[in-house]
Amino acid sequence: MDRTMLRAKIHRVAVSERDAAYEGSLTLDVELMEQADLVQFERVEIYDVDNANRFATYLIEGERGSGECCVNGAAAHLVALGDRLIIASYTTLADRDVPTHRPRIVLVGEGNRVRQVKHHERAGARVDR
């Protein structure tokens, strides 16, 4: 049997722009993408921590070091400037690979800068607002 598992996550990146007129996608600082091992045009799931909206889209590389997180197209109506997002990517693994799988988790701080990269989460762990 195969299982769908979290592969990578960027935790609590702040929306810096919204552009409903853009064709679609989410423009993200390429440095954040690299730290999470995400690539341009990769499908991602987006979870808005502030309003509970969820949607799927794909990534487009933004300027390196800019801290950019621009939600484009129709999804721009689902977020507000400053909303904190979780960006998640998933993979399918065979059962035999599950025990050794470790997702890449990027915690983001002020200015959408990488605060920490880790490969685990534990129940009850809280994040400062």
Each residue's pLDDT tens digit, 80-103: 999 999 999 999 999 999 999 999
Cα diameter, the chain:
45
Give me the architecture of the 2-118 domain, per CATH. Answer: Beta Barrel (2.40)
Residue 122's pLDDT is what? Answer: 75
Pairing of strands 17-19, 114-118: unpaired
Residue 128's pLDDT is what? Answer: 62
Compute mean pLDDT per 10 residues along the chain, 129 residues long, and list them.
97 97 92 98 98 97 97 97 98 97 96 94 68
- Beta-bridge partner residues of 59: 26
Pairing of strands 54-62, 114-118: unpaired
**Residues 50, 84: contact at Cβ < 8 Å?**
yes
Active-site residues, by number, are 25, 58
pTM (global) more than 0.95:
no
Residue 55's pLDDT is what? Answer: 97
Question: Which stretch of DSSP H or E encloses residue 69?
Answer: strand 69-72
CA triple 46-49-54, angle to 5 deg? 35
Edge to edge, the sheet with strand 84-94 lists: 17-19, 69-72, 26-29, 54-62, 43-48, 84-94, 2-14, 104-108, 114-118
Pairing of strands 54-62, 26-29: parallel
CA triple 26-13-25, angle to 5 deg? 5
